[in-house]
Structures are given as structure tokens and as C-alpha cells.
Amino acid sequence: MGEKRFAASTVSHIDPSFVTVQSAGVDGATGACVGDSGGPLLAGDSGGGYQVAGFLSRGSADCRGSDIYVSGVAAWLQSVGAL
């Protein structure tokens, strides 16, 4: 408990509302799965940290396919004091 786990993914499509990523699938690494909905998509920032770039809308059933994240919510999160 308390250990953060993540898998590197490649962005395959971006539009104003959604970001689609493809799991890297290297060394058994997997992407998001069904049931992970609401989990964050993190993107590296210029300071060496990470920022929330979206929230999982649909994970692939096999945990290795494409995952779709809702994006464009950062301004809203800031407006409600969540960021």
C-alpha cells in the first residue's frame, strides 16, 4: 500500500475533449483496464514533476489496448479549487 504504479503510454490521438493513449506493453507493463475509470492521466512537466492531463473514461478490456481519457478539465478543476 502507498506505492504508486504507472505504465508509460504513447498518445495516439488528441482532440479538444479526449486524449487516446496506447499502452507501451513493454516488460509486462499494462495500461488502464476496465474498472480503472476516473483514474488520472499524468503528463510530465518542465519542472520534472507531473500534472493531471485527463481522467480515464474507457479502459481497454485486455489492459493493453487503447485507453480514452477525458481532457480539457484543468481550467474547471482550478475554478473549483481542486488543483
What are the structural domains, with CATH classification, of the chain?
9-78 (2.40.10.10)
Identify the sign of the CA torsion 24, 26, 44, 42.
positive
Torsions phi, psi for 78 (to 5 deg): -65, -40
Q: Which three cell numbers stand for residue 59?
A: 479502459
Does residue 75 or residue 33 have the better pLDDT? 33
pLDDT on residue 2:
65
Express each pLDDT in 37-81 by its tens digit: 888 888 887 888 888 888 999 887 778 778 899 987 666 656 666
74: helix, coil or strand?
A: helix
Gap between the Cα atoms of 73 and 83, Å rounded = 11
CB-CB contact of 64 with 36 (8 Å) = no
